[in-house]
Amino acid sequence: MSQPITLSAEQREFRAVVRQFAEDKIAPRAAEVDRTATYSWENFADCRAMELPALGIPAEYGGSGADSTTQAIMVEELARVCASTALTILISRLATIPILNWGSEDLRRRYVTRIASGESQGSYCLSEPEAGSDVASMKARAVRDGDSYVLSGMKSWITNAGISDIYIVFAKTDPEAGNRGVSCFVVEREFGLNFGKLEDKMGVRGSPTGEVLLEGARVPVENRIGEEGQGFSIAMATLARSRPTIGAQAVGIAQGAIDEAAAYIKGRHQFGRPIADLQGVQFMLADMAMKTEAARGLVYRATALIDERDPRHELAKVGAMAKCFASDTAMEVTTNGIQLLGGYGYVKDFPMERYFRDAKVTQIYEGTNQVQRVVIARRLLAET
């Protein structure tokens, strides 16, 4: 079993630095970013100045080489004030995982370095209108034509659609082979990608989600990641590595709600005293904090497995647990946060309702929590 996580002095100092940065630079814009559903280039520029896009990328490709737990701390602290900004950073990091683990050295030099510097941003193009959890039913095609592949089809629910200039695209090179017919490509925007509608979302509104249109895009053969037919296994292994980061985002949202609720109940007076003196209110806050701390520990255990290179093949199970438990916790904590604020929790003058809306998607993307439970159960049954 992986050892419990105890943060180092350096990690605790890093948390303090990122928290101060988030409070000073990101938090003041969070409500307006949400209200206007506008991608904040200012926030990205500030994150780039802090070298946050480089976090976790190996030094030989322009990164800082930080471990996965430190990356989770960064996502958590950004999400504590603005889940949209946290998603902006983590989605580009997601795009680097297939290149770093299965791509050629040339692809790493050409693309990972650009993401590390903040010159480029990346997106992950797996889902389609009729292929969400059922990846094998995707319709996107990649047909070999000499030294290139010609893509066709559409990807949907793509984070940072139209913002990113590097897209990790999964398409079928053999439509008759099911999972074994899927291949993976690095596709630059300039290769001929177009973009459809952007979704009008309930939460994380400062991070655009939309359609990526592949029709006629031509991708050089050297931009294929791995071999033909390896795409499905690359996609699943990538998500196993990235799900703990979604858990970190959920923990950050929950922590933001706890902090907001605690400040409110200390200042809100009823019947001549702060409502924080009421035992029922105290119990609600205590439960919120306990579950969030448990979720944080599970996320850090999963990130430790990533850094250990998962020697006991536990990551798929523990990563699913971390994502599932943390996101369910975020939904419960933000719901109770609204309850503690009463009517003020229900209006946009306070950030609690934004935390609530932002929390919901963490139960859905990178595999719904129902899918996570299937993954967990299958792994447990295979172990017995």
What are the residue numbers of the active site? 366
Burial tier of 145 (Cβ tally within 10 Å: 0-12, 13-18, 19+): exposed
Residue 49: alpha-carbon gap to chain centroid = 21
- DSSP-H helix ranges across 273-349: 279-307, 315-341
The span from the CA of 212 to the CA of 185, in Å, is 14
Sign of the alpha-carbon torsion through 363, 366, 368, 369: negative
Characterize the bridge pairing of strands 148-152 and 141-145.
Answer: antiparallel
Q: Are 316 and 351 in contact (CB under 8 A)?
A: no
The span from the CA of 98 to the CA of 51, in Å, is 21
Could you count the other beta carbons within 10 Å of the beta carbon of residue 378? 13
Burial tier of 152 (Cβ tally within 10 Å: 0-12, 13-18, 19+): middle
Exposure on the CB side of residue 332, measured as CA atoms within 13 A = 16
Helical (H) or strand (E) element with 49: helix 41-49
The span from the CA of 82 to the CA of 71, in Å, is 16
Residue 27: alpha-carbon gap to chain centroid = 19
Q: Are 338 and 345 in contact (CB under 8 A)?
A: yes
Which residues partner with 184 through β-bridges?
170, 225
Could you count the other beta carbons within 10 Å of the beta carbon of residue 307? 13
Closest CA to 319 of 296, 331, 301: 301
